[in-house]
Chain A
Amino acid sequence: MLTRDTRDPASGPRLLLCLLAFVLLWPGIHFSELDLGVLLASDSQSEMGRFVAAFWPPAHGDAFIELLLQATLQTLAIATAGMALALLFAVPASLLASRALSLSAASRGGQPGYWGQLLRWPVRGLLIFLRSVPEIVWALLFVRAVGLGPTAGVLAIAITYSGMLGKVYAEIYESVDQRPAHALLQAGSGRLTAFCYGILPNVAAELLSYTVYRWECAIRASVVMGFVGAGGLGQQMDLSLRMFAGGEVASMLLTFLVLVLLADQLSRLLRWRLA
């Protein structure tokens, strides 16, 4: 009788989940061949030291600063244009993929109908495909199609990020209280209007901060793609690395730091305004 009084029905599944997580993580360490001892070996340490020592002092010649400024602007333009194109596709796709707009869920205790579930799958599949191919691969493809330059970077970001944004947006819609939208649907409103009145006010801050964070990621991604010839800071960095101009690389890394810092402040400002 005593054991029945103190038994928590949730404790069994919780214990099992912990065991499962451990069983899944353990082989991961082996398969990734993680060996932290390599970092402590003396020859790799001196190699890294020599590489980093060349970074000081950061380059700051007038001609270089002008070049840096131009490359920074180009990087920002690639990231922003790519995000804008990605949003054009991601917003409608997220509305299609999300269960939040399900009319049948409103009268079935949040459980959408089977047909709706089936119809959501192709959209989800498309989003998975778009984001499963890394942007660097798209960039390589587009560099061949449209030639060297920022256009390839913009297209690559647009494609991969539409997949990511669409998926996460759809999940953000589902993560908030669905009752306001359900109440509106039950009063005869259309799905899109119910979404705008019932869900959008609750998700706006979250959507905004995720979008700004993705924009920050797009800046970084555009730099990586610069290495394969898609313009911007990355292309400059690639050139500087090849010429072993550590000071120039350091200046560019500092520029990154400033860009990420600015994105962070922007996100904070917008969230504060919306809260």
Chain B
Amino acid sequence: MTLDLTQVSVTHANGVQALRGVELHIGAGEQVAIIGPSGAGKSSLLNLLGTALPPASGEMQVLGERVWQLSARQRQRLRARIGLIHQAPPLPPRQRVVTAVLAGKLGQWGMGKSLLNLLHPLDVSGARAALTRLDLSDKLFAQCQQLSGGQLQRVGIARVLYQAPEVLLADEPVSAMDPVLAEHTLSVLCRHAREHNVTLVASLHAVDLALAHFSRIIGLRDGQILFDLPTDAVDRERLDKLYANEQLQPSPAPPSPLSVQIPRC
């Protein structure tokens, strides 16, 4: 198994419990989509899998290693094999796109090569190839601050494609793109994962995209896994239950079968 979570809980620094007793096993080369309402813990789960967040309790293994028992040096080496695509890629505004993409390999390059690359990009063709797959090669030497939100997201994806990790995690990777571009970008990600036998886990707020591109769907709600099914077993009823929001109902609320009012503040 590539990703193993056993009864894992995550508590943020402000005391909010983001995940409760999550049980999740994902094998090598699987393509999994995580869906669920806002605040369900999708980002927390991806950050947990990407070793950006330590679990508060429970057992966790990534690529066969107990991440949080490793020394800092070993953990950094393991992290170089994991790629996390951020919803809003954190890129310095004045950095050039080529540098931002090449930074994907910092975990694999030595310090000398990394610093040299900052003065003169060492693999322009590699960066261009990654950007070309996302139809962004004309922005190679632009500054990040000149790009739109959707273009920045594609730069973030190009960085992770260039990193070529064994586990690819994506947190709402296409949320700022138009439908056609989102469709194209997701298929690029999925094809890359298939061709290189990369494990792909992506959170999406567009359910139709998740159903169209992924073979396994995980429904997350209030920090717990509601369902974990192959795509063809996901039906309307489950989705309605996943996204049911009793707090948004117009008043006076009709007595609904889902009368459990979960306090959220």
In the complex, A177→B77 CA distance in Å?
25
Cβ of A197 and Cβ of B106 under 8 Å apart?
yes
Contacts of A189 in B (CB 8 A): 76, 80, 103, 106-107, 114
Contacts of A221 in B (CB 8 A): none
Chain A 169-188 interface residues, beta-carbon cutoff 8 Å to B: 177, 179-180, 182-188
B31 within 8 A of A: no
Cβ of A188 and Cβ of B106 under 8 Å apart?
yes
Chain B 54-109 interface residues, beta-carbon cutoff 8 Å to A: 54, 72, 76-84, 86, 89-95, 99, 103-104, 106-109
In the complex, A156→B95 CA distance in Å?
37
Instruction: Give the interface size bracket for B toward A.
Output: 35 or more
Q: Which of B13, B51, B52, B90 contacts A177 (CB 8 A)?
A: B90
A45 within 8 A of B: no
In the complex, A192→B13 CA distance in Å?
26
In the complex, A216→B86 CA distance in Å?
42
In the complex, A107→B53 CA distance in Å?
5
In the complex, A85→B106 CA distance in Å?
31
Q: A187-B79, A188-B77 are in contact. Are A193 and B115 (CB under 8 A)?
A: yes
In the complex, A214→B54 CA distance in Å?
42
Q: A188-B77, A197-B95, A202-B92 are in contact. Are A183 and B106 (CB under 8 A)?
A: no
Contacts of A188 in B (CB 8 A): 76-82, 106-108
A196 within 8 A of B: yes
B163 within 8 A of A: yes
Contacts of B91 in A (CB 8 A): 180
Q: Which of B84, B108, B114 contacts A196 (CB 8 A)?
A: B114
Cβ of B107 and Cβ of A187 under 8 Å apart?
yes
Residue ID in chain B nearest A275 by CB atoms: B94
Q: Which of A187, A193, A274 contacts B84 (CB 8 A)?
A: A187
Minimal beta-carbon separation of B264 from chain A (angstroms): 18
Which secondary structure characterizes the binding site on chain B? loop
Contacts of A201 in B (CB 8 A): 92-95
Cβ of A187 and Cβ of B92 under 8 Å apart?
no
Residue ID in chain B nearest A177 by CB atoms: B90
Cβ of B104 and Cβ of A187 under 8 Å apart?
yes
A106 within 8 A of B: yes
Cβ of A197 and Cβ of B103 under 8 Å apart?
yes
Q: How many A-B residue pairs have CB under 8 A?
A: 92
Contacts of B109 in A (CB 8 A): 193
B111 within 8 A of A: yes
A109 within 8 A of B: yes
In the complex, A53→B109 CA distance in Å?
68
Cβ of A103 and Cβ of B84 under 8 Å apart?
no
Contacts of B83 in A (CB 8 A): 187
Chain B 206-237: CB-based contact to A (< 8 A → 1; otherwise 0): 00000000000000000000000000000000
Q: A108-B13, A197-B118 are in contact. Are A180 and B111 (CB under 8 A)?
A: no
A225 within 8 A of B: no
Contacts of B82 in A (CB 8 A): 187-188
In the complex, A190→B107 CA distance in Å?
7
Residue ID in chain B nearest A193 by CB atoms: B114
Contacts of A198 in B (CB 8 A): 90, 92
Residue ID in chain A nearest B85 by CB atoms: A183
Cβ of A197 and Cβ of B99 under 8 Å apart?
yes
Contacts of A182 in B (CB 8 A): 52, 90
Q: A180-B91, A180-B92, A202-B92 are in contact. Are A186 and B79 (CB under 8 A)?
A: yes
A111 within 8 A of B: yes
In the complex, A194→B114 CA distance in Å?
10
B12 within 8 A of A: yes
Cβ of B84 and Cβ of A186 under 8 Å apart?
yes
B50 within 8 A of A: yes
Q: Which of B72, B81, B90, B107 contacts A179 (CB 8 A)?
A: B90
A-B pairs with beta carbons under 8 Å apart, 15 shown: A103-B76, A179-B90, A180-B90, A180-B91, A183-B90, A186-B79, A187-B163, A190-B76, A190-B114, A193-B106, A193-B114, A197-B99, A201-B93, A202-B93, A204-B94
Residues of B at the A interface (CB closer than 8 Å) are 12-13, 50-54, 72, 76-84, 86, 89-95, 99, 103-104, 106-109, 111, 114-115, 118, 163
Q: What 14 additional pairs, Cβ within 8 angstroms, besides A103-B76, A111-B13? A: A103-B72, A177-B92, A180-B90, A185-B79, A186-B50, A187-B79, A187-B80, A188-B107, A189-B107, A190-B106, A193-B109, A193-B111, A196-B118, A199-B92
